Amino acid sequence: MHCDRARIAQLLSNLLGNAITHEASDRPIHVAASVTYGVFRLKVANEGRPISADRIPELFTAFSKLENEPHREGLGLGLYIASEIAKAHGGVMTASSDAEKTVFPFEMPASDETKRCGAGRNARTRTLINMEAVTEVRRPLNHSG
């Protein structure tokens, strides 16, 4: 795919970090990516306490933190940076939240190269990633060998 791969990886990392921070610890994080009709889509979803609709627009501003979690680690920059990466790629980052889950979808135009490498001329959708239960991201790394 024609993009700054390191920045798209950072976008995904920031979304996963946010999901880990705000998830219900006994529930999975869901990640999906696809190219459909010339649009690359990436979605990260987690279960946990819902975010009120009036707070959603503020999530993508610098130093944004939820009022009920002022002592959480971090500066409140992860979603802002993810949103700026999305914009730099001609894309958009949104969010939705209800009692069941919080979802952060990212969409950007797919280049001609993406079309050649992805779905092909006759296919409408190609799933790149569909990880229904990303529980491994919660495990600490063991550096002791």
* Full pLDDT tens readout for the chain, 145 residues: 678 889 999 999 999 998 988 877 888 999 999 999 899 999 999 998 898 898 898 888 887 665 555 455 656 788 999 999 999 999 999 999 999 999 999 999 987 544 433 334 444 445 555 544 444 444 444 444 4
pTM of the model: 0.73
Looking at 1.10.3720.10, 3.90.640.10, 3.30.1230.10, 3.30.565.10, the CATH number of the domain 5-138 comes to: 3.30.565.10
Check residue 126 and give its pLDDT: 52
DSSP per position, 67-128: TT-TTSSS-S-HHHHHHHHHHHTT-EE--EE-SS-EEEEEEEEPPHHHHHHTT-SS-SEEEE
Check residue 139 and give its pLDDT: 40
Q: Please state the domain extents for the chain.
A: 5-138
Beta bridge partners, 101, equal: none
Q: Dig out the tokens for 111 from the structure.
A: 């280049």
Q: Which helix (H) or strand (E) holds 13?
A: helix 5-22
Beta bridge partners, 111, equal: none
Identify the three-state secondary structure at position 57.
helix
Check residue 123 and give its pLDDT: 42
User: What distance in Å separates the CA atoms of residue 55 and residue 131, rounded to the nearest whole number?
Assistant: 28
Beta bridge partners, 102, equal: 46, 97
